[in-house]
Amino acid sequence: MANVYFAPAGATLAAYLTGEIDHHSAQTLRREIDAQIDARLPELLTLDFSGVTFMDSSGVGLILGRSRRITGLGGKLSVQNVSPAVKKMLDIARIPCVTGGDKP
Amino acid sequence: MKMLNSVKLTFASRSVNEGFARAVVAAFLVPLDPTVPQMADLKTAVSEAVTNCIVHAYPDSIGPVTLTAALYEGGLVRITVSDRGVGIADVEQAMQPMYTTGNPEERAGLGFAVMQSFMDKVKVSSTPGRGTRVTLSKRLDSK
């Protein structure tokens, strides 16, 4: 079970993720985040992982998919506040903890 | 090698059961008193294996996924995740990082790479049309 809470501030949209991110929960998170991207067209989308208690490679797919979407709209994505376990997963996918829109 | 304990369960290949499978494995491991990273590694590997069954083994249907967990002397944990789904024709190719037959927009193709990275040993046996069995092994450091 996972949730996402949004905090828009000017051209930046922060998405605070909480709970367990897996293939099941990623489907809902993806829909909710994409709806916000499309509605607000932020220059910077920040995904905050401080409330995430578990993440498998579905979370990597979630990040890369959102990165592609926002880059296509001229924006950027960054990833922040990851736990050591989430960091380990991002390292396998070579996703830096702060990702620019021009990077994978 | 002496087996100290084991569990076996079969569940439907519905994505809601990914969390259930992780919770079962976590509960099974509690008596071993694993570290937080060890527990996270095992839960993640199980989540990847079960997700593969749900996404790939039964692409257009719901079928049975069987999970076994066994504890052996010396802190060795062995987990199997098996299905009766479509099978994998080329296991070596399927295990390549970034290779995926799923939706490339949303699936990273990292499932097997994560299992191999987080476990000591990963064995995959598969027969097209018959199903796939993934065996995950990891020795938890004795304290």
The pLDDT of residue B48:
97
Residues of A with CB under 8 A from a CB of B: 1, 20, 22-27, 30, 54-58, 60-62, 64-65, 68, 84-85, 88-89, 92-93
Residues in chain B: 143
Q: Is residue A97 part of a domain?
A: no
> Along the 143 residues of chain B, how does pLDDT read in single tens digits?
899 999 999 999 999 999 999 999 999 999 999 999 999 999 999 999 999 999 999 999 999 999 999 999 999 999 999 999 999 999 999 998 878 887 776 777 889 999 999 999 999 999 999 999 999 999 997 55
pLDDT at A13 > cutoff 90? yes
According to CATH, what is the number of the domain B3-139? 3.30.565.10
Q: How far is CA B24 from the centre of its chain?
A: 12
According to the 3-state scheme, what is the secondary structure of B91-137? HHHHCCCCCCCCCCCCCCCCHHHHHHHHCCEEEEEEECCCEEEEEEE
The total of structural domains in chain A comes to 1
Residue B5: active-site member? no
A chain contacts of residue B114, beta-carbon cutoff 8 Å: 56-57, 89, 92
DSSP for chain A, written as a single string: -EEEEEEEETTEEEEEEEEEESHHHHHHHHHHHHHHHHHH--SEEEEEEEEEEEE-HHHHHHHHHHHHHHHHTT-EEEEE---HHHHHHHHHTT--SS--TT--
Give the active site residue among B17, B18, B22, B52: B52
CATH of the domain at A75: 3.30.750.24
Q: Would you state the pLDDT for residue B105?
A: 67
Residue B142: its pLDDT value, please? 59
Q: Among this protein's residues, is B17 annotated catalytic?
A: no
Q: Is the pLDDT of residue A76 over 60?
A: yes
Would you say residue A44 lies in a domain? Answer: yes
Domain residue ranges of chain B, discontinuous segments joined by +: 3-139
Judged by CB atoms closer than 8 Å, whether chains meet at A23 and B18 is answered as: yes
Quick one: pLDDT at residue A1?
87
Collect all residues of chain B within an 8 Å Cβ-Cβ radius of residue A91: none
**Contact assessment for residue B133 and residue B124, using Cβ atoms and an 8 Å cutoff:** yes
Kindly list the residues from chain A whose CB atom is less than 8 angstroms away from the CB atom of residue B51: 22-23, 56, 58
ipTM tops 0.95: no
Which residue of A lies nearest to B16 if distances are taken between CA atoms? A24
**pLDDT at residue number B107:** 76
Q: Roughly how many angstroms between the first and final C-alpha of chain B, as a whole number?
A: 20
Q: What is the domain range of residue A64?
A: 2-92
Write down the pLDDT at residue A102: 38
A28-63 per-position pLDDT tens digit:
999 999 999 999 999 999 999 999 999 999 999 999
Provide, as residue numbers in chain A, all residues whose Cβ is less than 8 Å from the Cβ of B117: 92
Chain centroid to Cα B57, Å, comes to: 13
Pick the residue of B25, B55, B114 with the most A CBs within 10 A to test the interface with A by mutation.
B114
pLDDT value, residue A104: 37
A73 is a domain residue: yes
Q: What percent of chain A has pLDDT over 70?
A: 93
Whether residue A85 contacts residue A54, with contact meaning beta carbons closer than 8 Å, is answered with: yes
- Determine the Cα–Cα distance for residues A69 and B93; give it in Å rounded to an integer: 28
B29: left (phi over 0), alpha (psi -120 to 50) or beta: alpha
Active site residue B103: no
Distance, CA of A20 to CA of A51 (rounded, Å) = 9
